[in-house]
Each structure stands twice: as C-alpha cells, then as structure tokens.
Structure 1
Amino acid sequence: MDQKGVFYAALSYFLWGVLPVYWKMIDHVPSGEILANRIFWSFVFMAALIVFSGKLPAWRETVMGFRKRPERGIALAAASFILSVNWFIFIWAVNHGHVVESSLGYYINPLISIVLGILVLKEKLNGAQVLSVLLASAGVLVLTVSYGQFPWISMGLALTFGVYGLLKKMVNVDSSVGLAVETMTVCPFAIGYILYLIFHKESSFSVHSLSTDLFLILTGPATALPLLFFAKGAQRISMFMLGILQYIAPTLMLLLGVFFYHEPFTAVHFWAFLFIWTALAIVVLSQSRGTGLFERKPLSR
C-alpha cells in the first residue's frame, strides 16, 4: 500500500472534516457573502496555480474543447452551480448551529450516489446495496417522523454533492483544471454580489477586523488545498481505501458538533445515525468480500 497516497487522502478528508472550525471563525459574516468570497478567491488561487504549475495549456484545451462537445461544457457549468449550492448550504448550516446535521449529510452521500447510479446510469444493485439504501432511508424516516419535518440540510448536502459527483464523472477532467473552470463559471455572479455589497455599504471587508479580511481571502486556499491533496492521494491508492477514508470527514464534523460546539445529540439522532452507520458498514463489506450476498451483479446490456 502506498503510504504517501494514504497520507494525502487522509489529510484531505481531515481538512474537510475540520472545515466547520474555519467557517465558525467568520460566522459574523453573512453566509451569502462568505460564499461569494469563497468562489472569487478560489478562482484567484486556482488561476494562479494553473499558471505556475504549467497546466495553462490543459486548461485552455478543456475550455476550447467545449466548442466541439458543448454537452461537456453544459455538464461542467451545471456542476459549478450545484457545487455553489452545496457550499452555501454547508456554510449556512455550520454557522447556524447545524454541524451534526451537516455530518449526517456527508454520511448519507455515498448512499445517494448509489441511488443516482441506478436512476441515471442504470446500474444494478446487489443485495447488500439494496439493504444499505433501505436502512439509510429508515434513518432519514426516523428523523422526519420524530421532528415533524424533513432533514433538509442533511439531504440537501447529500443530494447536491451526489449530483455534483455524477456530473463530474460524466465530464472527467483534471481535478485542478476542473475546479478552475467551475469557479470561473460562477465567478461573475460572485463578483457582482461582492460589488453590490460594496456599493450598498454592506460589505464586511475592511469593516470588522484585519483577521476577518484575511480569513475571507484564505477561503480560496482552504477550498482548493484539500481537493489537491485528495487528487494526489486518489492517484496512489485503491478506490476501496479511498471509500474507507472518506468517513474521516463526517466523523470529525460529528465530534466537533457534539463535543466542541455542544449541539444536541439525542436518542433520535443516535438511532438515525445507527441505521446509516449500519448501511455504510454493509456497503464497505460488500466492496471487500465480493461473494454471496455481496457479489456485484453484471450490468445489463
């Protein structure tokens, strides 16, 4: 096993897992403004990285290739807007005391990806995958019935990131080039909103403190670096190991929400999480065994 690959992948998931701490440090800034700055500074950071890493020809080739295959450009543009929605939900949720619900969303995400594979890619499920989806659905149902409302934050995060992953799978471009194109696509909207806030004297820049300005600027590296570490790790290790490591992020979020930010974790939460944890354990076992109940069915042609 490539130890460097494991290190890079684990580091990326660790950084994603502690990202709520970063957003909490600027929770006095409106979520929409944080999102606009995150998009703008991510584009600035990625543009600089593309230039200095010698990937400008690859970036240019990707953009020019959309003329020949416009469906790829449409898919990547859609991915950029969906990712922006995911970012906003996460920032808003964290800064309004919903870190635990956010962690649930990223636990559910792999199971949402399974469902999207059925609906869009016409993939066939084996018995273990069917059982895991049913258990996850039971977990969501427990929360819905107990609280009298659908867990919109959790499902919103899971669905947006699941659809984003599906669109990225359809386009299949280099991760750094892809993020540069995605942030470039939505950057005009972010700049427009930032200018609107400045014009109406509602901008948080140069108002609160130098640290606030610095944290807003550093949203670019905070967004891009985990993705770059992930790409380096994914190239070196198996998908199975990557699938195991991905649960570092929501686990850290859950621990932060309960023990650091003292969010409620009731018996209802426990049972809902237990259903979902069991579902995830079944998925992991199905990937590692490959026999009997866990044997993957061949795709129909």
Structure 2
Amino acid sequence: MPAMSSTRSGIVMGASAYAIWGLLPLFLKQLQPLGAVEILSHRVIWSLGLLLLLALALRRGKALMQVMRQPKLIGVLAVSAALIGLNWLVYVHAVNEGHTLQASLGYFINPLVNVLLGMVVLRERLGRAEWAAVVLAGAGVAVLTIGQGALPTLSLILAISFGLYGLVRKMAPVESLEGLLVETALLTPLALGWLLLHDGFVLPAGGPSWPLVISAGIVTATPLMLFAAAAKRMRYSELGLLQYIAPTLQLMCALAFGEPLLPVHMLAFAFIWSGLAVYGIATWHKGRVRPMAPE
C-alpha cells in the first residue's frame, strides 16, 4: 500500500508539473518586452527567494546544511543547474521569438529521449514496441530536418537538456526542495550579475509590473519541485506517459498565438505522436505502470 500511495502521488505531482509547463507560454508573453536572458534572470532570483522562505517554513535548514557538506553532491547539482538553466533560456527565447511550436515539438520528443536515457543509463529494458516508438520519433525529426533543410536544433536542445536534467535529479540523493534550492543558488550570481550590468532591475515603461515579474519565481519553482518529487516516485521511462500534457498545451498556445502549422510540421508531429501512442499502449498493456516504491 505505501508503494501504491507513492506512485499515485507521483502521478498527481507529475501531471500538475506538466500542466503548469504547458500553459507557461501564456505567462511568458505577459513579461514582454523583457528579453530572454532578463526573464531567465528574474525567474532564478525570485525562485531563490521563494525557496528560501519555503525551506524556513518547513524547517529544512538541517537537511540543507547536510547537502552543503557534500562537495560531490554540490558538483552533481551544479551539472543539473547548468542543464535546467540552458533549458529555461532556450524555452523563453523560443516563446519570445514566436517559436512556441518548435518548443512544443521538443517536448513531444522529450518522452522518448527519456526512454533512451532510461535504457542506456538506468538499464531499463525496452521491448519491440518501445523501440518502434523511438524509431518513429526519429523519423519525425528526420522529416522536419529534410523539410526545413536543417536540424530542428531548438527542439532537440529542449528535449535533450530536460531529459538529462530529469535523469541527473533522479539519480542525485537529495530531496526536491533542497536540490532545487541549491541549483537556484548556484545560478543566482550569474542572474544577479546580468541584471546589474544591464539595468535589469529597471522595468521598461508599458512592460510588466513588479508583482508579475516576482511571480515568475512561483511559476518557475513550483513545477520543478513537483517534477523532482514525481521522478523519485516513478520509473523514469514511465514519466514519458505524463509528458503528453505539456507539449499538447504548448501546441494549443502556439496556435492561439497565430504561429503557422505547416504540412511538414503536421507530418513530423504525426510520426512523433504515433511513436508516443505505440509506447503508451505498449506500456499500459504490459502493466508496466505499476506501484513503485521511492528509490
């Protein structure tokens, strides 16, 4: 029963995280005309403030100090901080520049990147249907590459960086709050330096208000804590099933923003959606989404 309860809570946490991420473009549009690096910097700084308050409220100071006394763990979290920082920056840039559709494609690819990472790093076994799903996703990327005359670089960066981030956090022996707090603290000097050097604490006339900018911390930290907690309670490859939520909502946002959905996009999405459907059906059919105790 404890294992079943853990898995169910992981599903709720994961689904909530992906729903927030899926609707994030709507929030980011409200922060314009701020640039991508400026938005990222504010997200980092105000997330740190929120996480510190949360750690104090939950009396997690002792647990945080235990993390700080482990140089190797800090090194692992520095890697995860770099990965999530890159992911954030590319994502905000994509939304700001009208490429939410490409961001959506990246997160449709991401579940199958997780499958590969689960197999290669965590030695999770894949069946024929799962291999077929990966091949179909690869075909979708190939179609888009041929149609555009170039690799969908933005989409691949988002898919791979977030896949690696989730993998590092799953393997790191640290709770979600402490881990995210350390990651954010590691990114804060860079964020603070950028804002100070570029007058980032002076908001442009007609731009977002300070309460809206500060709320970026809540929008940033909340889904990451939910995701990190979910990753501890589920098989990593099984997280792919929940990741339908975010890119589907992002795709809807892209269409709402008036971004064109070209035939080559539709063909690429068809291959990737087919791969995800094959993987999802095979996973449920084999009963692989079953209660798992936290690792």
Deviation at 1:21, TM superposition (A): 0.6
Q: When the two structures are superposed, what TM-score results if normalisation uses the length of structure 1?
A: 0.85
**Taking structure 1 as reference, are residues 134 and 155 closer, same or farther at Cα in structure 2, changes over 3 Å only?**
same
Deviation at 1:162, TM superposition (A): 0.9
Deviation at 1:152, TM superposition (A): 0.9
Structure 1 partner of 2:160: 159
**Taking structure 1 as reference, are residues 254 and 87 closer, same or farther at Cα in structure 2, changes over 3 Å only?**
same
Contact 2:81/2:187 (8 A) holds in 1: yes
**Taking structure 1 as reference, are residues 235 and 172 closer, same or farther at Cα in structure 2, changes over 3 Å only?**
closer
How many Å separate the matches in 2 of 1:233 and 1:124? Answer: 21
Contact 1:43/1:184 (8 A) holds in 2: yes
How many Å separate the matches in 2 of 1:270 and 1:139? Answer: 10
**Taking structure 1 as reference, are residues 81 and 240 closer, same or farther at Cα in structure 2, changes over 3 Å only?**
closer
Q: Do residues 254 (structure 1) and 259 (structure 2) align?
A: no
Picking from 9, 12, 17, the partner of 1:12 is 17
Contact 1:205/1:213 (8 A) holds in 2: no
Structure 2 partner of 1:298: none
Q: Do residues 45 (structure 1) and 42 (structure 2) align?
A: no
Structure 1 partner of 2:189: 188
How many Å separate the matches in 2 of 1:14 and 1:135? Answer: 25
Structure 1: tracts of 5 or more residues without a match: 295-301
Structure 2 partner of 1:297: none
% identical aligned pairs: 37
Q: Do residues 95 (structure 1) and 96 (structure 2) align?
A: yes
Q: Please list, as runs of the form range in 1=range in 2, the aligned pairs for 1:8-157 lying within 5 A after superposition.
A: 8-64=13-69, 66-67=70-71, 70=72, 72-157=73-158
Contact 1:132/1:282 (8 A) holds in 2: yes
How many Å separate the matches in 2 of 1:123 and 1:234? Answer: 15
**Taking structure 1 as reference, are residues 254 and 40 closer, same or farther at Cα in structure 2, changes over 3 Å only?**
same
**Taking structure 1 as reference, are residues 8 and 115 closer, same or farther at Cα in structure 2, changes over 3 Å only?**
closer
Q: Which residue identity lines up with residue 175 of structure 1 in the other structure?
A: S
How many Å separate the matches in 1 of 2:85 and 2:57? Answer: 26
Deviation at 1:122, TM superposition (A): 4.7
How many Å separate the matches in 2 of 1:55 and 1:252? Answer: 34
How many Å separate the matches in 2 of 1:53 and 1:278? Answer: 44
Contact 1:106/1:158 (8 A) holds in 2: yes
Deviation at 1:234, TM superposition (A): 7.0
Between stretches 146-155 and 241-250, larger displacement belongs to: 241-250
Picking from 257, 260, 263, the partner of 1:264 is 260
Counterpart secondary structure, 1:18: helix
Counterpart secondary structure, 1:173: coil
**Taking structure 1 as reference, are residues 239 and 130 closer, same or farther at Cα in structure 2, changes over 3 Å only?**
closer
**Taking structure 1 as reference, are residues 195 and 183 closer, same or farther at Cα in structure 2, changes over 3 Å only?**
same
The C-alpha deviation readout for 1:255-283, integer Å capped at 9, x for no partner, is 1111x101111221111011111111111
Picking from 262, 268, 281, the partner of 2:277 is 281
How many Å separate the matches in 1 of 2:227 and 2:134? Answer: 26
How many Å separate the matches in 2 of 1:160 and 1:228? Answer: 17
Contact 1:39/1:183 (8 A) holds in 2: yes
Deviation at 1:205, TM superposition (A): 2.4
Q: Which residue identity lines up with residue 241 of structure 2 in the other structure?
A: I
Give the structure with higher Rg (CA): 1
Deviation at 1:206, TM superposition (A): 3.7
**Taking structure 1 as reference, are residues 145 and 237 closer, same or farther at Cα in structure 2, changes over 3 Å only?**
closer
Q: Please list, as runs of the form range in 1=range in 2, the aligned pairs for 1:222-241 lying within 5 A after superposition.
A: 222-230=219-227
**Taking structure 1 as reference, are residues 35 and 139 closer, same or farther at Cα in structure 2, changes over 3 Å only?**
same
How many Å separate the matches in 1 of 2:119 and 2:154? Answer: 23
How many Å separate the matches in 1 of 2:117 and 2:17? Answer: 25
Q: Which residue identity lines up with residue 290 of structure 1 in the other structure?
A: K
Structure 2: tracts of 5 or more residues without a match: 289-295
Q: Which residue identity lines up with residue 62 of structure 2 in the other structure?
A: P
Contact 2:41/2:192 (8 A) holds in 1: yes
**Taking structure 1 as reference, are residues 256 and 174 closer, same or farther at Cα in structure 2, changes over 3 Å only?**
same
How many Å separate the matches in 2 of 1:121 and 1:234? Answer: 13
Q: Which residue identity lines up with residue 93 of structure 2 in the other structure?
A: W
Q: Do residues 217 (structure 1) and 222 (structure 2) align?
A: no
Q: Which residue identity lines up with residue 95 of structure 1 in the other structure?
A: N
How many Å separate the matches in 2 of 1:164 and 1:232? Answer: 13
Q: Which residue identity lines up with residue 143 of structure 2 in the other structure?
A: V
Q: Which residue identity lines up with residue 24 of structure 1 in the other structure?
A: K
